[in-house]
Amino acid sequence: MNNTVKRIAVACLAMFALLMVNVNYVQAVKADKYSEDQRNLRNFYERYAVQRGRITAGGKEILAQSRDTGSSEFRFVRQYTDGKLYAHITGFFSPESASGIEAAENKLLDGSSSDLLLRRSIDLFTGEPTKGANVDLTINPRAQKAAYDALRASGKRGALVALNPKTGAILAMVSLPTYDPAELSGTSKKQVFTRYDELAKDKSQPLLNRAIGQTYPPGSTFKVVTAAAYLEDDDSRGPNTTVQAPQRLPLPGTTISLPNYGGAACGAGQVPLVFALEKSCNTPFGSIGMELGYAKMKEQTEKFGMGEQIGVPMSVTQSDFGPEEDKAALAMASIGQRSNRMTPLQMAMIAAGIANKGTVMKPYLVNKITDSKGDSIEDADPQELSEAVSPETAGKLREMMVSVVNNGTANLAQIPGVQVAGKTGTAETSDNRPPHAWFISFAPADDPQIALAVIVESGAANVGAEATGGHTAAPIAKQVMEAVLKN
């Protein structure tokens, strides 16, 4: 029987060999495929295995942090203090995706970035668990709160962005309606996905960060750009240069003509530039646009940073002056209508550029990134984005914008003891809804600490003098400026 026992031994050997080959196949060859499978919960747990870094504002206010649950599945869960207030900045950290800073700085927050290689190596030797880096934002919590409260009080949708004009640091960024990131950062996929679907389907688009992700016709606030192009075109021009201001501006090639707001007259038909801006007359800026031509207007918008791909680090939707069409279209675009579309951030950059002697700084949100031990990984390095106008032109524009607040449409933005510069806007929308109320401003005018843009969607409820951006949007801007200036 020994022969057959030996053959059986060979058979057993073959069985073991087959098992070993197959185990190799499963664990070495197919392993990647298995780990990528959506049904494999391990990927899901991995997201929660590392203690993500904190997101803070102003170095101390904690916006988001990870709490240790001690569970082996969802070890660290994300918590948001004042979630709704900062929702569009921090974003959420859901089982399968993330948004805002959580997404943009994910590799640093979860510690996988190559910038943290040294830290990870040290942790490996000291046996400490890897922790993510902490991200500190440029947000000024007081300004953020003021902006959120004021905008919410309007009861409308809208957005506000405030910048430090000298550095480009974003001091406040609010978009309404908002959502609670905690609801999207739970560990129950079912709950999170159901809630996400609800929010995504909501017509008011609470998930959208309107401040950087939505473009609107800028309306009259755009007239400062037109004015900038006009002043840049000829050094001899100034606030007191006389411009044509007919009651209606005939648009070449069409049978229609461009009226002023509410069909009103603008002075005596020939007015100083500063007056046209104070009263926000349409006809002078329409004719200036046509006089300068598309190329010069387009160039000026680009000098304010339009057309540039910007990340703050979240990517910003590009603003656009519109395509080259006929003269009539150019006149409309020059007063912020037609195809002219701006993000609130872009409008804030325009105000900031004028405030900063003509230089637009690159806007940014991240002030400082430190590793888990507090050692600096990255510090904000303010960068010039573009030279929008000469310092002289900036000075003239500032003078005119101060006049708009002191003598013009934006008197509601006045702050006692502080000189504010600003420009109102009321942007018609194509559908038959009430126009949007805009306001851009900076203060103090002689040493600007803050520049901002605010839009209240359909905020200019009714037609009439009361309905301009000056009425709805300017008081909101005032409250935010006060929060920053009055320490």
Partner 1 sequence: MSEMAATPVPLPAKRRGAQLLMLALAVGITMFAYANVGLALNGKVPAGMLTYGLGLGGFMLAAYLVLAKWAPWADPLILPLVTLVNGIGLVMIYRIEESHAIGTGGASATNQLIMTGIGVVLFAVTLIVLRDQRALQRLTYTAGFVGLFLLISPLIPGLGKTVNGSRIWIGFGPATIQPAELAKIALVVFFAGYLVAKRDVLALAGRRLLFIDLPRARDLGPVLITWAVSLGVLVLQKDLGSSLLLFGTFIAMLYIATQRTSWVLIGILLFVGGAFLAGQIFDHVQARFEVWLDPGRQEFFDRQLGGSAQLMQGLFAMGAGGILGTGLGQGHPYLVPLSFSDFIFSATGEELGLTGLMALLMVYALIVERGLRTSLAARDPFTKLLAGGLSFLLAWQLFIIVGGVTNLIPLTGLVTPFMSQGGSALLANWILIALLVRTSDAARQPPPQAIQNEGLTQVFQR
> Looking at beta carbons only, is 68 or 381 nearer to partner 1?
68
Q: Does 124 bind partner 1 (CB under 8 A)?
A: no
> Looking at beta carbons only, is 13 or 465 nearer to partner 1?
13
Token code pair at residue 399: 């003078």
Q: Does 121 bind partner 1 (CB under 8 A)?
A: no
Is residue 77 within 8 Å of 185, Cβ to Cβ?
Answer: yes
Nearest 10 degrees: CA dihedral of 216, 217, 221, 227?
130
| Residues numbered 16-75 forming contacts with partner 1, rule: CB under 8 A | 16, 18-20, 22-24, 26-28, 30-35, 37, 39-42, 45, 72-73
Sign, CA torsion 404/408/414/417: positive
For the window 129-148, what string marks contact with partner 1 as x by the rule CB under 8 A? --------------------
Q: Does 486 bind partner 1 (CB under 8 A)?
A: no
CB of 29 to partner 1, least distance (A): 10
CB of 72 to partner 1, least distance (A): 6
CB of 6 to partner 1, least distance (A): 7
- Of the listed pieces 9-17, 160-168, 203-211, 448-456, which binds partner 1 according to CB under 8 A? 9-17
> Looking at beta carbons only, is 41 or 264 nearer to partner 1?
41
CB of 299 to partner 1, least distance (A): 56
> Looking at beta carbons only, is 129 or 391 nearer to partner 1?
129
Q: Does 3 bind partner 1 (CB under 8 A)?
A: yes
> Looking at beta carbons only, is 19 or 118 nearer to partner 1?
19
| Residues numbered 73-112 forming contacts with partner 1, rule: CB under 8 A | 73
Token code pair at residue 352: 């900031």
Helix 282-292, helix 223-233: angle, nearest 10: 50
Token code pair at residue 197: 């679907």
CA distance 343 to 353: 15
CB of 46 to partner 1, least distance (A): 10
* Cα distances (angstroms) measured from residue 482 to each of 229, 346, 419: 31, 22, 12
Is residue 454 within 8 Å of 159, Cβ to Cβ?
Answer: yes
> Looking at beta carbons only, is 2 or 126 nearer to partner 1?
2
Give catalytic residue positions. Answer: 220
| DSSP-assigned beta bridge partners for residue 387 | 359
Token code pair at residue 267: 């002075």
Token code pair at residue 75: 């070890």
Distant-in-sequence, close-in-space partners of 286: CB < 8 Å, separation ≥ 6: 249, 251, 258, 331, 332, 334, 335
CA distance 116 to 44: 23
Helix 294-303, helix 327-334: angle, nearest 10: 30
| Residue linked to tokens 């109102």 | 424
| Residues numbered 145-174 forming contacts with partner 1, rule: CB under 8 A | none
The correct pick among 2, 126, 255, 432 for binding partner 1 (CB under 8 A) is 2
Distant-in-sequence, close-in-space partners of 73: CB < 8 Å, separation ≥ 6: 45, 48, 187
> Looking at beta carbons only, is 30 or 189 nearer to partner 1?
30
> Looking at beta carbons only, is 130 or 414 nearer to partner 1?
130
Long-range contacts from 127-130, C-beta under 8 angstroms, 24+ separation = 129/50, 129/51, 130/50, 130/51
Q: Does 236 bind partner 1 (CB under 8 A)?
A: no
- Of the listed pieces 12-20, 339-347, 388-396, 398-406, which binds partner 1 according to CB under 8 A? 12-20
Q: Does 5 bind partner 1 (CB under 8 A)?
A: yes
| DSSP-assigned beta bridge partners for residue 174 | 160
CB of 45 to partner 1, least distance (A): 6
CB of 309 to partner 1, least distance (A): 39
| Residue linked to tokens 């709950």 | 191
Q: Does 8 bind partner 1 (CB under 8 A)?
A: yes
CA distance 91 to 108: 15
> Looking at beta carbons only, is 39 or 60 nearer to partner 1?
39
| Residue linked to tokens 């473009």 | 215
CB of 374 to partner 1, least distance (A): 24
Token code pair at residue 152: 């919410």
- Of the listed pieces 11-19, 93-101, 299-307, 404-412, which binds partner 1 according to CB under 8 A? 11-19
CB of 16 to partner 1, least distance (A): 4
Interface with partner 1: number of residues (CB under 8 A):
37
H or E segment to which residue 442 belongs: strand 436-443
| Residues numbered 296-325 forming contacts with partner 1, rule: CB under 8 A | none
The count of other CB atoms within 10 Å of the CB of residue 153 is: 11
Q: Is 197 helix (H, G, I), strand (E, B) or coil?
A: helix
Q: Which residues bind partner 1 (CB under 8 A)?
A: 1-9, 11-13, 15-16, 18-20, 22-24, 26-28, 30-35, 37, 39-42, 45, 72-73
